[in-house]
Amino acid sequence: MSNKTLVVISQDMALKSIVEGFLRDAFSVVVFNNIQSAIDFIYNTIPHLVIIDLTIYDNQSVNILNNLKGDPIFSQLPVLAILSDNPENPLWGSLLVEDYIRRSDVERDLDPRVNLAILRSERVVEINPLTRLPGNISINRQIQERLDASQAFAVAYADLDNFKPFNDHYGFSRGDEMIRVTGRLILNIVKNRQSQEGFVGHIGGDDFIYVIDVDLVEEITNDIIDAFDRIVPTFYDAEDREKGYIKSVDRQGNIKVYPVISISVGITLNKIKKFSHYGEITEVASEMKRFAKTFKGSCFKIDQRQYAIDK
Domains and CATH numbers, the chain: 5-123 (3.40.50.2300), 136-310 (3.30.70.270)
The mean pLDDT value for 250-268 works out to 90
Work out the mean pLDDT of the chain and round it to a whole number: 90
Q: How far apart are CA 93 and CA 7, in angstroms?
A: 23
Report whether pLDDT(306) > 50. Answer: no
CA 190, CA 197: separation in Å to the nearest integer? 9
Say what the pTM is: 0.79
Distance between CA atoms of residues 75 and 68, nearest Å:
7
Give the HSE-up count for residue 310: Cα atoms under 13 Å, Cβ half-sphere: 18
User: How far is residue 131's CA from residue 76's CA, in Å, rounded to a whole number?
Assistant: 13
Does pLDDT of 112 surpass 70? yes
For residue 250, what pLDDT is reported?
Answer: 74
C-alpha angle with apex 73: 67 to 75, nearest 5 degrees?
Answer: 55
For 29-81, write each residue's pLDDT tens digit: 999 999 999 998 998 888 999 999 998 877 888 899 999 988 888 888 999 99
* pLDDT value for 301: 97
- Is 277's pLDDT higher than 90? yes
Could you tell me which of 263, 261, 270 has the C-alpha nearest to residue 300? 263
Interstrand relation of 299-302 and 199-204 (parallel, antiparallel or unpaired) = unpaired
The 3-class secondary structure across the chain, one letter per residue, is CCCCEEEEECCCHHHHHHHHHHHCCCCEEEEECCHHHHHHHHHHHCCCEEEEEECCCCHHHHHHHHHHHHCCCCCCCCEEEEECCCCCCCCCCCCCCCEEEEHHHHHHHHHHHHHHHHHHHHHCCCECCCCCCECHHHHHHHHHHHHHCCCCEEEEEEEEECHHHHHHHHCHHHHHHHHHHHHHHHHHHHHHHCCCCCEEEEEECCEEEEEECHHHHHHHHHHHHHHHHHHHHHHCCHHHHHHCEEEEECCCCCEEEEECCEEEEEEEEECCCCCCCHHHHHHHHHHHHHHHCCCCCCEEEECHHHHHHHC
First and final CA of the chain: distance in angstroms?
Answer: 55
Express each pLDDT in 208-244 by its tens digit.
999 999 999 999 999 999 999 999 999 999 999 999 9
pLDDT on residue 310 = 42
Tally of CA atoms within 13 A in the half-sphere of 235 that contains its CB: 28
pLDDT of residue 42: 93
Nearest in space to 15 (alpha carbons), one of 118, 102, 87, 78: 102
User: What pLDDT score does 92 carry?
Assistant: 59
Give the pLDDT of residue 234.
Answer: 96
pLDDT digit string (tens) for 135-175?
999 999 999 999 999 999 999 999 999 999 999 999 999 99
